[in-house]
Amino acid sequence: MSTRSPISTKLAGRVSALRASRRPASPSNLNNIKPWFDETTYPTIVDAVVRCAATREQQAFQCTSRYWRKRVDVIRSMHLVLDGELYSDFPRRLSTNLLHDGKRAYFFNEANYSVYSSDTDSDMAFTLPAMDVSRTRVFDVRGQVRQAVLDDLAALLTSLDTLRVYAYYERAHQFEISLSDRFTAFWGQNFTAGPGRERTRLPTSKPKLPRAKRLVVFSHLGQYDQWTFKIPVNPLPAVPPGVKHLVVRLAVPSEPSMPLAGFARKFTPLPELKCATIIFSPTDRRWRKPKKRNKVNTLADLQTVVEALGVPVTVVGFDLLERRIQDAKNKLTGVTFADTRAYRAEVGEEDWALFTREAEGVDLLHRQHIWSDMLHR
């Protein structure tokens, strides 16, 4: 009777295991095989990952291959931003309007004009270039945007899912006309053509907003200016057609000494609205504290807004207010309270990013260059 040494037995076991690993998987083991996660297997998931990624991660995708360089450009074109700036050095003004996707510029217009110029003057003329924006699903409008530019763009943006605007009340530059570089507003000269100052001002018209299913408003809940302490849930002067879901993301100051703002009880109504969501999120951003603390009743204002909306309202992250206001949840009725994590899991990461992540801002060096260039003209 022959006996095997321990070394031979161990070697034979390894050979048997190697042979077994090379055999085709039996039908009973097919369910345990994990499929390869790639763009061809799950294209929609990979596209969603790229859309939710920051600019740096998207650029990393583009460095992998020529295919992804083009593919990321297509995905980025689904989310465009129109940034506007308006500076004043009486009697001259400087306006810039930039349409971009965070990396590539689609349209840029700069107008250096007189306060008495007409919209039809040569120094106010502009022409949109030939561009394909038919894939755009998300559109941000931020800053002091020229109304004529937005009107022409709205005619091209025919299949939007989400329109996002901003309502931050803070003075960003002493020479700016607006109270904030991130407050969405629209302007036009509204003068008839004529010689010098004899021109007649026309009635102010409302902007032509593109049709969208959702309206997202980014704002804050702190008193950062002593003359603006009432936050509108819809800051737009016109009604965006087709809006059925209103989302208001409010940044709650982390400093206990920063007084909370109230809500404007009157705002532009949305006749087609079906539901609304108010999201409270923490922020560490440092705004200037008001010189005067205004007396407001935040929850009473919010209760009036909820009743004025007249649709089911979901409040997310209300625990941030409960830390600041005693017995806050019992003072707000007629709403559905949702936990932040639970609501985020319910809507998915893509929609959560649209509701809470703002578009990247214009480079500060670019703004300083624009302003210094204007002063030397």
CA distance 307 to 266: 12
Write the DSSP assignment of 122-146 as a string of letters. GGG---------TT--EEEEEEEEE
Residue with tokens 């308006």: 86
Q: What is the pLDDT of residue 115?
A: 77
Question: Are 111 and 123 within 8 A, CB to CB?
Answer: yes
Residue 176, pLDDT above cutoff 80: no
List pLDDT tens digits, range 222-279.
876 545 678 888 888 888 899 999 999 999 888 777 788 888 888 888 999 999 999 9
Rounded distance between C-alpha atoms, residue 140 and residue 166, angstroms: 9
pLDDT tier for residue 311 given thresholds of 50, 70 and 90:
very high
C-alpha span between 250 and 273 (Å, rounded): 20
Q: How does pLDDT run across 120-134, given as a tens digit for each residue?
A: 777 788 888 888 888
* Contact present, 165 and 223 (Cβ < 8 Å): no
The Cα 181–Cα 168 span in angstroms is 8
- Confidence grade of residue 186 (pLDDT, cut at 50, 70, 90): confident
Q: Which helix (H) or strand (E) holds 282?
A: strand 275-283
Query: So what's the pLDDT on residue 250?
Result: 92
Residue 177 has pLDDT above 50, yes or no: no
Q: What's the token pair of residue 177?
A: 């006309």
Cβ neighbours, 10 Å, residue 232: 18
